[in-house]
């Protein structure tokens, strides 16, 4: 069957949890995990380094356009990192993800 994991970087835990909660409330994602990270990247011609928080959202593949669009609407970054991974898991977990995102 399979599902997706969406990787989103955020400035801090508050922003990460806001995005995660928004997607959960809309039933676009079944679960969200949060991880503190250290990022290095090019921005406006310079190498930058920041502490960030990643949220990993788990959802059915069909929810990708909605998740991407909702995150873009509320994310404070001008160029947010929103990456989709296609994944597989044990069938019970995949069924749980699908079920939680289909409840209306």
Residue whose entry in the numeric block shows the structure tokens 């609407």: 73
At a CB cut-off of 8 Å and minimum separation 6, what does 34 contact?
A: 13, 16, 17, 20, 53, 54, 55, 56
Query: Quick one: which of 67, 98, 68 has its CA closest to 1?
Result: 98
Q: Which domains, and CATH codes, for the chain? A: 6-91 (3.30.70.120)
CA–CA distance, 56 with 5 (Å, rounded to integer): 6
How many Å apart are CA 96 and CA 41, to the nearest integer?
Answer: 36
Give the length of the chain: 104
Read off the pLDDT of residues 7-54 as tens digits, 9 standing for 90 and up: 999 999 999 999 999 999 999 999 999 999 999 999 999 999 999 999
Write down the pLDDT at residue 104.
58
Residue with tokens 């069909």: 62
User: What integer best gives the mean pLDDT of the chain?
Assistant: 96
**What's the whole-number mean pLDDT along residues 45-70?**
97
């Amino acid at each position: 069957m399979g599902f997706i994991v969406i990787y989103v970087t955020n400035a801090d835990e508050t922003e990460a949890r806001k995005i995660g909660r928004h997607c959960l409330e809309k039933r676009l994602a079944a679960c969200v995990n949060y991880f503190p990270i250290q990022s290095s990247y090019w921005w406006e011609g310079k190498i930058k380094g920041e502490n960030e928080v990643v949220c990993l959202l788990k959802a059915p593949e069909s929810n990708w356009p909605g998740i991407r669009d909702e995150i873009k609407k509320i994310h404070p970054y001008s160029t947010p990192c929103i990456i989709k991974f296609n994944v597989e898991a044990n069938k019970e977990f995949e069924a749980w993800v699908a079920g939680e995102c289909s409840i209306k």
